[in-house]
Amino acid sequence: MTTVTVVKKDGRIAIAADTLTKWGCGKESAAYVTNHEKIIRVGDSLVAITGSATFKLILVDYFDNLESAPEFSSTQEIFRVWNQMHAVLKEQYYLQTGEDKEEDLESTRMDVLIANAHGIFGVAAHRTVQEFSRFYAYGSGSPYALGAMYAAYRAPSLDADAVARLGVAAAAEFHDETGLPIQSFVMDLEPVPK
């Protein structure tokens, strides 16, 4: 349940998310849930969260209690932060890591997308960190979002925000675990030094 997207295009970065917090026979939409946002601010970065709605509360609490916000400026920096956070999630927030003898690593049980002036990044549940060159999506509606963004990305009339929002909108149209309205943010990409 959730669809989150990030896009980097023409010197701009966009991040977007749906706002459905529960699906199935008991939907909880933005019309009824005040704290429906899935994107949080961490310093100069925006983080879109998939997984349990509780993860948003946990991440806000965790990052608010750090002495300073992490920069999330590279894949290695993000990995370092996420690895340190994983230990705290287990100890202080009672994270059930889903122990499975077939898994090489414990799961953080959430995927997140990160957008900031340095680029667009993703952190998968086993703390794999990727930097994306154009766009990406996580969540149960991500196949629909990725298809829509792939088809739309080259259109000169569509900016980063339009492509990111289109990905979430496509997921909401065809996937019952994604719901409108869309939350989105846009920022400038930091110029690469010459």
Q: How confident is the model at residue 48 (pLDDT cuts 50, 70, 90)?
A: very high
Contacts of residue 159, defined as CB under 8 A and 6 or more positions apart, other chains included, come to: 9, 10, 12, 14, 186
pTM of this structure: 0.94
pLDDT of residue 104: 61
Which is more confident, 66 or 125? 66
pLDDT value of position 102:
67
pLDDT, residue 9, reads 98
The residue among 152, 144, 122 whose CA lies nearest residue 50 is 122
The full set of domains in the chain, from first to last, is 4-185 (3.60.20.10)
* pLDDT value of residue 96: 78
Q: Read off the tokens for 109.
A: 């049980």
User: Per-residue confidence at 142, pLDDT binned at 50, 70, 90?
Assistant: very high
Span 66-111, pLDDT tens digits: 999 999 999 999 999 999 998 898 888 877 776 666 666 677 789 9
User: pLDDT above 90 covers what percent of the chain?
Assistant: 76
- Give CA separation, 153 vs 8, 32, 86, 170, in Å: 10, 33, 34, 14
Residue 38 clears pLDDT 80, i.e. is over it: yes
Give the Cα separation of 88 and 121 in Å (integer).
22
Percent of the chain with pLDDT over 70: 94
- Say if residue 27's pLDDT is above 90: no
What is the tally of helices (H) and strands (E) in the chain? Answer: 4, 9
- Angle between helix axes 54-64 and 75-92 (nearest 10 degrees) is 110
